[in-house]
Amino acid sequence: MDKYLIVGLGNIGEEYANTRHNIGFIVADALANELGAKFSIERHAFMAEARLKNKQFLILKPTTYMNLSGKAVKYWMDKENIPLENILIVTDDIDLDLGVLRMRTKGSGGSHNGLNHIIETLLTSEWTRLRFGIGNDYARGFQVDYVLGRWSTADEKILVPRIEAAVSIIRSFILEGATRTMSAFNNK
């Protein structure tokens, strides 16, 4: 049976809940909720197990904080013997407009410390990521304040359907693979 690892990046703790940087956690929660999967605290992560048709997968929210996300990804990838092509990382992206969703099967981490730590830990950037645009409406020097800031009411109206779209993209990745999913959803 094929096994997949879906990882939503974010930071644990109430002070980070519902912040732009935690969109990966928000999408992971939406996916688990749609499938009736419940999170439990496990090693390096909150983890939920789910199935889609004949596909089994883990949904992770690392407890290592963003900058050490690779630790949780590597542990669960090794423990569950999940190949790189069956890993999907959901992350925020300031280089995409709010709500834009883009899937890639490789690439650099750019300025994203969570992605960079995963690349350093896995010794490769050849894994799929779903980048969720959070926009970049901040003054020079205030990037950290922006990404750790909470969503505005106007943002939330845009986010709800985009979170649902992200869950659809993840389902497609599991059932159809990255190439078909990118063809179906990128630039839509």
Active site residues: 21
Pairing of strands 3-8, 55-62: parallel
Pairing of strands 87-93, 101-104: unpaired
Q: How far apart are CA 64 and CA 59, in angstroms?
A: 15
DSSP for 116-137?
Answer: HHHHHHHT---SEEEEEE----
CB atoms within 10 A of CB 26: 23
Between 113-122 and 69-79, two packed helices, what is the crossing angle to 10 degrees?
40
